Amino acid sequence: MAGEVTIRLRERKFCGLTLEQLKEFSLTELSNYVPARSRRSLLRHPEIVEKFLKAVDDKIARNKKIRTHLRDLIIVPKMVGLNVGVYNGKSFQELQIEIEMIGHRLGEFALTRQKVNHSAAGIGATRGSKSVKK
């Protein structure tokens, strides 16, 4: 056709850098692009992230699900695209990691509390309901 319209999807970036550029960074280089609290965690304890990434490689090699209790783990570019089960205190919530999540913690995306939906008051719960007959 002569009048074909092509739609280009915008490339997703983090701080103006593509995912390929971010994956080449070490943890100390990445710390320059994340917020201060995440930077402090990455610089003081990079071995926690490295240990998790090593465990992820082992799980992928054995075709097992990736599940973790590490809610305070900083998301790094090497995790983008993974499906991770994050423990919320009761069960594991599946989480698809995207480029916008870099620098945040896993626990920010697996909520620990649910909204409570209360039903109507029962018999005797209020003063007006004491005279109600069954």
pTM strictly above 0.75: yes
Inter-residue contact 93 to 86 (CB < 8 Å): yes
pLDDT of residue 14: 83
Number of domains in the chain: 1
Whether 129 is covered by a domain: the verdict is: no
pLDDT of residue 132: 61
Inter-residue contact 69 to 36 (CB < 8 Å): no
pLDDT of residue 10: 76
Interhelix angle 46-61/36-44, nearest 10 degrees:
80
Whether 127 is covered by a domain: the verdict is: no
pLDDT of residue 134: 61
Give the whole-angstrom CA distance, residue 65 versus residue 68. 10
Q: Which parts of the chain sit beneath pLDDT 50?
A: none
Whether 86 is covered by a domain: the verdict is: yes
b/e map 32-58, b = 16+ CB within 10 Å: ebbeeebbebbeeebeebeebeeebee
pLDDT of residue 17: 85
pLDDT of residue 8: 72
Residue 29: domain span: 19-112
CATH of the domain at 93: 3.30.860.10
